[in-house]
């Protein structure tokens, strides 16, 4: 089985595609004998969902949760002079306490089912791809090493302030010394320090902006070079970062104190053969398509994406709403103390991994939980509060699909993210109702909470190549008509309190088998093979016109003039 990949679609066996339970991986490897006196670490960048790892038949680590990395020091388990073996057992079973949650139903009728027959019930609308989705690495450091680096930035006039904190670890007879340098793209040092934590000023810096801000040098990245010196030897780490700020007011999302409007997409980390397995060609294709569409942001729906994807977002200037795997939290069992403890742990892992990325502008703690359930109030007060404690520099939210405002959680967020499907999941086909229903709904949320609002999903299932005139649901014509009515409402609210729009979805993606999905979710404006449906050209025209507008107000007036003419 190739690693990285999802094992589900690689073979031609239905039993493997739909398998629920323990999958075993095994591999031999050698270790450089020169690493004997160094700290050797085995790192898994993602294993879905529950993983148990042995080295040379000895238990090394256990990790609960997919999508995020975990690692352990393995010196005491290695044979530096011979062959080694790593064995991994991965279980993709979803329970009420996993993220995403699920349940197992055992079928007991002997006339219908064989003994022990069970089904996995999903509480999310995408396929439960499983396996070792990302790289497995063996790396080494000195025995005194850099354990963690935190970088945050401020802007004071024409000066960039870089706050940093370095945490060394390891045993040493004397405290290590450190040299910190900020290196620009030309390779020149523009600031330095010899302290483990502190501030470094960068005069007249290049700031990191999403590329659609029409600036000369968007997405500018510096490098924080940290050299830790101890009797164990030097440990050198180079951390890319950008100088930028993010904050919200009652009506605006501000990047570097300038209003930012997200014209984006929601995505899934999904390909044809590799499932959620890391695929460099697909990453490159997706970012080319994002630029082609004129997208300046996307949401990692509904789980953290591979670090290589966020690398590209940093470098190419695509803003990110970084979302946890908290999708499908809809039943009472999902709000209990075991689930909460796991959710807090997952948010800690997510923030630790992505906290230094300039592209990450918002943390999303969940997608479409049952926030009208009274149990959700204490649960998400804790999750959102914990996330703000972990990182007070970014807004924190969750994505809400409540319509009737019997909501207990929106009170805690910094920015309101809403999924809306008027004329699809309600009043299907009646696009003439979209402007009335969506406009009233948005105004009511704004009046109640006085916070900026972003639409994080709107869309209609569309079969590529299916046409009808007049439009009919599931046709490409209906998707265009549907989106056009939403756009009219967005134009009316942009510049008032609406700070972004994200179509659902960037591309078609696989779901569990069912009579409501035809080989997956077809709401993509692209097919799963990344070919555009007609709606993609509508979105491309809209987003590229936004490039010429310097503020939300300008864009709102611009589109009003287009509609009038």
Given this model, what pLDDT does residue 549 score? 62
Given this model, what pLDDT does residue 173 score? 73
What is the tens place of the pLDDT at every residue in 479-504?
999 999 999 999 999 999 999 999 99
Nearest to 350 by CA among 306, 312, 304, 395: 304
Give the CATH architecture of domain 247-564: Alpha-Beta Barrel (3.20)
Instruction: Inform me whether the pLDDT recorded for 362 exceeds 60.
Output: yes
Average pLDDT over residues 204-216: 79
Asked if residues 177 and 229 have their Cβ atoms less than 8 Å apart, the reply is yes
E runs forming strands in 339-426? 360-367, 396-400, 416-419
Given this model, what pLDDT does residue 547 score? 80
Q: Which residue has the tokens 């939210």?
A: 397
DSSP codes, 218-271: -S--EEEEEEEE-TT--EEEEEEE----EEE-SS-EEETTEE--EEEEE----B
DSSP codes, 183-221: E-TTS-EEEEESSSEEEEEEESPPPP--GGG--SS-S--
Lowest-pLDDT choice from 49-53, 132-136, 510-514, 539-543? 510-514
216 confidence band (pLDDT: 50, 70, 90)? low
Average pLDDT over residues 21-30: 97
564 confidence band (pLDDT: 50, 70, 90)? very low
Share of the chain above pLDDT 90, in %: 88
Neighbours of 240 (CB within 10 A): 16
Q: 144-244 has which fold?
A: Immunoglobulin-like (2.60.40)
Q: Catalytic amino acids?
A: 368
Given this model, what pLDDT does residue 171 score? 75
Given this model, what pLDDT does residue 330 score? 96
What is the tens place of the pLDDT at every residue in 224-262?
999 999 998 899 999 999 999 999 999 999 999 999 999
Element (H, E) at 156: strand 145-156
Average pLDDT over residues 506-521: 90
Lowest-pLDDT choice from 265-274, 280-289, 498-507? 265-274
Average pLDDT, the chain: 93
Given this model, what pLDDT does residue 214 score? 57
Average pLDDT over residues 138-143: 96
Given this model, what pLDDT does residue 552 score? 46
DSSP 279: -
Interior angle at CA 326, CA 323 and CA 329, nearest 5: 145
What is the tens place of the pLDDT at every residue in 182-208?
999 999 999 999 999 999 999 999 999
CA distances from 555 to 2, 292, 439, 451, 562 (A): 47, 20, 18, 20, 10
558 confidence band (pLDDT: 50, 70, 90)? very low
Q: Which residue has the tokens 């398998």?
A: 19
Q: 14-92+128-140 has which fold?
A: Jelly Rolls (2.60.120)
Question: What pairs with residue 247 in β-bridges?
Answer: 254
Given this model, what pLDDT does residue 215 score? 58
CA distances from 13 to 63, 184, 487, 492 (A): 28, 51, 44, 51
- The residue ranges of every structural domain in the chain are 14-92+128-140, 144-244, 247-564
Average pLDDT over residues 40-50: 96
Average pLDDT over residues 266-283: 84
Share of the chain above pLDDT 70, in %: 95
Average pLDDT over residues 431-451: 96
Given this model, what pLDDT does residue 218 score? 78
Average pLDDT over residues 385-414: 95
Instruction: Inform me whether the pLDDT recorded for 174 exceeds 50.
Output: yes
Average pLDDT over residues 322-342: 97
């Amino acid at each position: 089985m190739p690693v990285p990949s999802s094992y589900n679609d690689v073979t031609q066996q239905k039993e493997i595609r739909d398998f629920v339970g323990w999958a075993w991986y095994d591999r031999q490897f050698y270790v450089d004998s020169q690493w004997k006196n160094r700290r050797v670490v085995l790192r898994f960048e993602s294993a879905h969902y529950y993983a148990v790892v042995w080295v040379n038949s000895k238990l090394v680590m256990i990790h609960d949760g997919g999508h995020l990395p975990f690692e352990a020091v393995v010196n005491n388990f290695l044979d530096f002079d011979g062959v080694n073996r790593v064995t991994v057992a991965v279980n993709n079973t979803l329970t009420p306490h996993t993220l995403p949650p699920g349940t197992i139903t055992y079928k007991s009728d002997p006339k219908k089912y064989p003994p022990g027959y069970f089904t996995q019930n999903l509480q999310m609308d995408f396929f439960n791809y499983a396996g070792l989705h990302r790289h497995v690495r063996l790396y080494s450091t000195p025995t005194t090493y850099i354990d963690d680096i935190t970088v945050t930035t401020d802007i004071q006039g024409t000066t960039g302030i870089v706050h940093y904190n370095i945490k060394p670890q390891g045993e040493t007879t004397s405290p290590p010394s450190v040299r910190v340098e900020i290196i620009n793209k030309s390779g020149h040092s523009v600031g330095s320090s010899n302290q483990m934590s502190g501030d470094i000023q960068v005069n007249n810096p290049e700031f990191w902006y999403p590329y659609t801000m029409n600036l000369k040098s968007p997405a500018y990245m510096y490098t924080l070079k940290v050299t830790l010196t101890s009797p164990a030897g030097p440990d050198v780490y180079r951390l890319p970062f950008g100088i930028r700020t993010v904050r919200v007011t009652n009506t605006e999302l501000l990047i570097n104190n300038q209003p930012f409007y997200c014209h984006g997409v929601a995505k899934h980390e999904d390909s044809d053969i590799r499932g959620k397995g890391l695929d460099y060609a697909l990453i490159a294709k997706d970012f080319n398509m994002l630029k082609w569409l004129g997208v300046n942001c996307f949401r990692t729906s509904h789980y953290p994406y591979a670090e290589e994807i966020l690398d590209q977002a940093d470098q190419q200037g695509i803003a990110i709403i970084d979302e946890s795997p908290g999708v499908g939290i809809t039943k009472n069992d999902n709000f209990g103390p075991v689930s909460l403890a796991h959710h807090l742990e997952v948010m800690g892992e997510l923030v630790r991994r992505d906290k230094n990325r300039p592209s990450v502008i918002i943390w999303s703690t969940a997608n479409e939980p049952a926030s009208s359930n009274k149990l959700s109030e204490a649960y998400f007060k804790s999750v959102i509060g914990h996330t703000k404690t972990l990182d007070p520099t970014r807004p924190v939210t969750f994505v809400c699909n409540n319509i009737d405002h019997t909501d207990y959680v929106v009170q805690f967020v910094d920015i309101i993210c809403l999924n809306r499907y008027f004329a699809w999941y309600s009043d299907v086909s009646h696009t003439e109702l979209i402007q009335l229903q969506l406009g009233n709904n948005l105004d009511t949320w704004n009046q109640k909470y006085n916070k900026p609002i972003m639409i994080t999903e709107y869309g209609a299932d569309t079969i590529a190549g299916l046409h009808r005139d007049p439009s009919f649901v599931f046709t490409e014509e209906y998707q265009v008509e549907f989106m056009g009515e939403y756009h009219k409402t967005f134009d009316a609210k942009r510049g008032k309190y609406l700070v972004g729009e994200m179509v659902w979805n960037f591309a078609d993606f696989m779901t569990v088998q069912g009579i409501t999905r035809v080989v997956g979710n077809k709401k993509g404006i692209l097919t799963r093979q990344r070919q555009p449906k007609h709606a993609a050209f509508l979105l491309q025209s809209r987003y590229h016109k936004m490039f010429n507008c310097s503020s939300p107000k300008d864009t709102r007036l611009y589109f009003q003039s287009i509609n009038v003419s």
